[in-house]
Structure 1
């Protein structure tokens, strides 16, 4: 194919008497064009296979890293074959690559740092595409939409895109709530001091209600205890975990629990406390 293309270009130049164009230049142009065509077709094939694997249910992160490894390998092979065809030995190319690597390392330390950090993200897998992540060290929270060689793209919950250098993830802690097995419900209920004699029964009823709720994971810790004398209320702690980790479903389950707690309190003719003060006025004799 290369020879045919080169001969075609050579014949075309001879027809137009373009004697100033050398055979080496013709070969270079022919090989470059063919290499670009082959590379483009191969990349299109890899992209189609990547999308096909993702549609089948494969992990998007794994599919993308495999695709990028194939693309990088093809580029390296083409460069090596290109150089060898024009008389540069493999050892010479490797030596040139070593010198070039040193120069790039000196000139682009941050670029290399981000590149290798990106590779570590692929292998360590602290998060995948689609995961909800956050960092207590930085103002970072949102959904991972892309993990690149140099940067990771995260979209916040108010739909703002964040482009974070991969090297940053090696120096900060990252939480991955998307890998939670349960979500927690934790709250305090404040009852009036005049309902002190009803606290024990209310606590028992709330605990029973949680154990019977189909949305609550009874295999996890369930705690319902009277735990504090506040300024204007007697506080009951409620602590449990839902089976779902989906935020909207968790909110629905939490709301259902809160409404049932209100019903339990009302059924005992008790009520919730609100901040209040008692004033004692001394009468003058």
Structure 2
């Protein structure tokens, strides 16, 4: 019945033209309806706060349009193929499969990217803290790599290539590649260990006592990690290095320590006990000192020129600048406590004690020296007087 109706239309000698027109029209209508449905769905999903539905909606729109047009045009080409002997359309099924795989890959990669961006933004976390950037980026790279490799294998299979031989070649060739690129693989697995063990993350301040490495982690790649040193120079460290060295992560410290030794003069020995007690009481009442950690203020030793006591405590903050401001304030307040007790901080001095006979000899030598100096001075005065008299006589 449809065939008879199409033959009655203008151009009825070519009814497949009308079929192609109707297929394209239907494709356009479906594309419009899908767009309207996605817009309504977006309005509904904006009322919720879920990372997955927002990511799916953001990544599915354009691939869905392309998929609809792919189906519509492929059907239209099938109609043309039924009345044409052109050999170019014999690859229609393979090309359609390849395009479908590419569009699906586009959607999945976009979905992974949208989820990764939303997790890193911190907008979708209950605690208002973003997920660990290192873990999110690592999983994102792994999933996207797996999607792309799988898509390539499916495309090869759709084009008529046997992926069995490719996989077999990959197994045999992988051994040779492993020997040729052992450093590259070592860096790859080193980066994988960093992702799994997470000794540090992007943004952490790290340093190594084994290597001259210190700075802030900016990026953790598959082959190397980029660290920004404190003088703002980029430092690129191969990931395999982190499997062989010790890494310290000061960014994860819970507190910062104040450990200082202060020396008083020996003349202030009587005030030492009261000074130590008042300093301890001062620290126990300080708002910036963590009272849950060890706090010690004790007389420690008899120094060469001072009576030494030390303070050992921890601040609540771990921020570098704030810590130093607190430490400066505490040390200045301790200095005021010392001065309040009419004492002072000692400075290096030396005292020499001699035996009595030696001291007498030194004093005798000093007296003789003074007498010799007086005699020399008197002789010089007499010589000058004689010279003046001689000059006066000559003048007369």
Quote the offset at 1:28 in angstroms: 9.3
CA deviation map 1:187-211 (0-9, x unaligned): 1101111111111111111111111
SS in 2 for 1:144: strand
Q: 1:232 aligns with which of 282, 305, 308?
A: 305
2:272 paired residue number: 199
Alpha-carbon separation, structure 2, partners of 1:100 and 1:252: 60
8 Å CA contact 1:83–1:93 kept in 2: the answer is no
Kindly indicate whether the alpha-carbon contact (under 8 Å) linking 1:115 and 1:149 is maintained by their aligned counterparts in 2: yes
RMSD: 2.8
User: In structure 1, how many angstroms separate the alpha carbons of the residues matched to 2:147 and 2:196?
Assistant: 21
8 Å contact kept, 2:261–2:308: yes
Shift of 1:259: 1.2
Q: 5+ residue gaps in structure 1?
A: 12-18
Q: How does 1:83-232 map to 2 (within 5 A)?
A: 83-232=156-305
Partner residue in 1 for 2:117: 51
Partners of 1:110 and 1:32 in 2: CA distance: 36
Is the 8 Å Cα contact of residues 115 and 166 (structure 1) preserved in structure 2? yes
Q: Are 1:242 and 2:325 counterparts? A: no
The alpha-carbon deviation at position 278 of structure 1 amounts to 2.8
- Alpha-carbon distance between aligned partners in 2 of 1:2 and 1:173, rounded to the nearest angstrom: 57
Rate the CA distance shift 1:266–1:156 in 2: closer, same or farther, 3 A. same
**1:278–1:157 CA distance, 2 compared to 1 (3 A):** same
Is the radius of gyration larger for structure 1 or structure 2? 2
Task: Report the CA distance shift for 1:31/1:191 in structure 2 as closer, same or farther (over 3 A).
Answer: farther
When you count helix as a share of all residues, which structure comes out higher?
A: 2
How do residues 271-282 of structure 1 correspond to structure 2 at under 5 angstroms?
A: 271-279=344-352, 282=359
CA deviations over 1:114-140 (Å, ceiling 9, x no partner): 001111111111111111111000011
Picking from 130, 151, 156, the partner of 1:78 is 151
Q: CA deviation at 1:159?
A: 1.0
Measure the CA separation in 1 of the matches of 2:269 and 2:253.
38
Could you give the per-residue CA deviations for residues 94-125 of structure 1, whole angstroms, max 9, x where no partner exists? 21211231122111100001001111111111
| Superposed displacement of residue 31, structure 1 | 8.2
* Number of equivalenced pairs: 274
Q: Which has the higher contact order (CA 8 A, sep 6+)?
A: 1
Matched, 1:284 2:363: yes
Shift of 1:147: 0.9
Change (3 A) 1:2 1:274: farther
Give the whole-Å Cα distance in 2 for the aligned partners of 1:206 and 1:264.
Answer: 7
Does the 8 A contact of 2:258 with 2:313 survive in 1? yes
